Structure 1
């Protein structure tokens, strides 16, 4: 049975039903494949921008960022600060590039530039990454809601997953975007409510939070040292953020597909900037929640004892020696259950669900689109008509949703496998971005240049990722950089090696 009062459960059920109703409403408009994948390019820029923002801000952000800020500091906020650079590139280069190419898939251009191997490589990487991403969000949301609601994790995933599949299959991209608009607003309201509740309960309010935060260095963005790239300094996180966000805006079908939903190129570029203008201040809210939680439990240390005891039992440690970083991710759910009034908890849980559902529904639609455009129409049935394409899109949206859901169920209790996969997904992301930038910027590189650059880049990425396994006596062969630098170095290596290969080939031909 659920731990929540009936009022909170009712709020959650109403929210889930509302999402299904939205899918039914938009289903009447999905008569063509173009309507399903791009909403026929009729979504206003502000709605596309909120949709991009909601996709960025997953449930992992809603729950994980406050825990990280509670346990450490605001170093991770530097990731948000890096977004304007990636957004500038997206608005100036990526959006015009994709809008000038009518194909909705982000990967068809790779085949035009470098051959079918490049397109297939990117498609496989994307689909596997999306399945793992959806599975991890299903797993994360069920882990959090189990503590809040008290229901079985698998049951939570199945119920939530069925709701997402229904409204995404029925409503297509238009339902995805408009439900994400609602979800983006809801999760923002949820964050504001939590902050208001905390400030009301902390004696001295904002002043106390600032004083305690300054005392314990909770607002630090990290070291600004320009010579240290082995720890999470400001510059390491900043560079990591730039390259990850370039991958999102430039190579991720979830984002590229939205460029086609806007009426024109100008509106699509506006949506990118709106996403950034929303994400930076609202992501800051979640760091503020972490600082407020830290101040609240600093003032009321006796109230955190149950959380510390629970984590101490899990880690087989003495609760008195636990550091805030050891139990930071447990604090927000604990506060919600024990300190928020009836009804409000249901609203916040709905906000957490909204954060998860927006990312999962985007992944489902994007994965179905990539499968249809890059596999079905490319290899299986090149002469498929629009009706056949739409049928495949509908089926594959549901199938990818089910795969993501069951991937989440399979991840229960096997966190180490999840960690290993995300290490590998970082490898693929570095390879995809480097290959894309090589094709976009270096106009003279050809198939062989790209292949050489990709092979060398992936070898470097593999070494940087797994060199920690090298015995200590050969420590000089280990990667000296922080793990977040892997995508940075890997991307640059692919681009530079491919470019150098082109120049060497050109000089050889001249002689």
Structure 2
């Protein structure tokens, strides 16, 4: 990167972190530290909620996913507005009435201490791991692209977040997220405008290319339980995930518990429900435009060019050169066919258009075969090498083709996204550890000042833990799917506990506690036996369905166990 890019990158990050510390330094009570003095208005809450969910994984992985798989991922969010309405009507009023610091305090009021502790521990387990991934995700990509040491990159991201999160608590997180959100979406929209302007064809023709190559596949009405992303999974299984994430995950609950009033918190949540889909559309569409761009400008045979550079220095350099030459010939032939297809579309020659599309599909298969051959060479040269390169697509395009200054801004987008989501997670982990575990079960009668200090120490502890986990983590198939999978393993059980609390008034603590343990075991069993049936697995279902399985299992088991414990009782005592 150029000197200008470095100035833009580090200047942006330093200004955001410094502003957060300056505006919130000196929180002098546990209430102000955890609930931010209840000072947030609805649009600040909405931006904070969106920034918490929009991690670096969103901006790294989503464009690459669109490049490879089209826009069908957007269907994952179709049920989000419905989930936001349900949470606004059912969840938030209860939290406000009880004046809780964490969502899990409500469970002790409704059930007992052990159920509250179990839910808090499940949250801490999955969110503690997720915090590591949200640091690791940008670190592995950025360290590779910039030539930095991975551990040093993890430490840099984690340390900056720990600094302002420990200093100012919830208010610092919310304040910095407004600036981070402006940088993130401003940078991405600017990148989208630039890539469209760089296309050698018109915008209308670009849409034709994307459509004919199945990249604008936003709606799939076919029901397939093994498909992660279609309308049915988005409107059913994903709703359970969103209900649990936004309604019971403390990293999100803490965002709207800092609202000035119940109405402000509701409006912030609804704002997220109706702006998240357009936001994801923009990010996915940028990925599609990058795909169109690379149909007319030769892309790297593997987007993680660090791996191919290593191959050039090895004994397999000659084989790589041959494969790259074959890839270039294939690309030039494809480019001619794309231009011919656009002519056929203009001439309304359906038959010619169909024939050309078939030829392009065949050429695309050959390109994928060449890419696979190169990846095999990479692994042969280095068995530990990572060959999945979807998450490198967007930033490779940025580094190779965008002007100076914009490159630094786009790297600031990734770092800002990592900081915003990680800060919320650490803030929530510190709160839950202090309020639900330490204050409730370990040291019950200390001073407010002691608990304020404890919350800061727990926040720092989880920050250091996230850095350590990130340092020893390994790359998943796709980072955004990794986070959703991790949440799906635990969210269903947690949501089931809350729904029993809200709607099954006759069920008591002992029954729901046992039901939660059984349900979590069931979800883990389903996951570890899930996969390709041809490989000996028992079934093949998309991981989003773990959420309704876990939730409904808790409700069913709780009802059955309560019926055994107190036969004949089906109403409130």
Same fold (TM over 0.5): yes
Q: 1:55 to 1:212 in 2, by over 3 A?
A: same
What TM-score do you get using the length of structure 2 for normalisation?
A: 0.81
Choose from 530, 553, 557 the match for 1:497: 557
Q: 1:270 to 1:420 in 2, by over 3 A?
A: closer
Which of the residues 412, 427, 434 maps onto 1:365?
427
Pairs within 5 Å for 1:6-405: 6-221=3-218, 223-226=220-223, 228-232=224-228, 233-300=230-297, 302-305=298-301, 307=303, 320=327, 321=366, 323=368, 327-405=389-467
Q: 1:459 to 1:160 in 2, by over 3 A?
A: closer
Moved more, 478-487 or 305-314: 305-314
Return the alpha-carbon distance in structure 2 between the equivalents of residues 483 and 246 of structure 1: 16
Q: RMSD between aligned alpha carbons?
A: 2.8
Correspondence for 2:515: 453
1:94·1:249 contact (CA, 8 Å) conserved in 2?
no
1:410 matched residue in structure 2 = 472
Gaps of 5+ in 1: none
- 8 Å Cα contact 1:243-1:488 kept in structure 2: yes
| Alpha-carbon offset, residue 252 of structure 1 | 0.4
* 1:482 counterpart residue number: 542
- In structure 1, C-alpha distance between the alignment counterparts of 2:514 and 2:149, rounded to whole Å: 49
Task: Summarize the Cα distance change of 1:119–1:148 in structure 2 as closer, same or farther, 3 Å threshold.
Answer: same
C-alpha separation in 1, matches of 2:47 and 2:247: 18
For the residues of structure 2 that align with 1:230 and 1:449, how far apart are their CA atoms?
A: 32
Could you tell me how far 1:268 is from its partner in structure 2? 0.6
Contact 1:297 1:304 (C-alpha < 8 Å) held by counterparts? no
Hey, what's the Cα distance between the residues in 1 that align with 2:309 and 2:410? 28
More deviation in 426-435 or 59-68? 426-435
Deviation at 1:474, TM superposition (A): 7.5
2:531/2:540 contact within 8 Å kept:
no
For structure 2, the residue ranges without an aligned partner over 5 or more in a row are: 328-365, 373-387
Is contact 1:257–1:366 with CA below 8 Å preserved after alignment? yes
Instruction: Summarize deviations over 1:203-245 as a string: whole Å, max 9, x none.
Output: 234212210111011111353124x312233312442321111
Question: Which string of whole-angstrom CA distances, capped at 9 and with x for unpartnered residues, describes residues 361-412 of structure 1?
Answer: 011111111111011211222112211111111222212111111211121x
Q: Say if 1:209 and 1:291, in contact at 8 Å, map to a contact too.
A: no
Task: Count residues in correspondence.
Answer: 501
Distance 2:471 2:304 in 1: 27
Deviation of the 1:79 alpha carbon: 1.6
1:429 counterpart = 2:491:
yes
1:167 to partner: Cα distance: 1.1
- Residue 311 to residue 292, structure 1, CA distance change in 2 (3 Å): farther
Cα distance change of structure 1 residues 311 and 73 upon mapping to structure 2, 3 Å threshold: farther
The change in CA–CA distance for 1:381 and 1:311 in structure 2 (over 3 A counts) is same
d(CA) in 1 for partners of 2:304, 2:125: 37
Cα distance in 2 between the residues matched to 1:127 and 1:191: 32
Give the superposition deviation at 1:264.
0.9
Per the TM alignment, residue 471 of structure 1 is displaced from its structure 2 partner at its CA by 9.0
Cα displacement (A) at 1:449 = 2.7
Deviations 1:333-372 (A, max 9, x none): 1111111111111111111111110000011111111111
TM-score by length of 1: 0.91
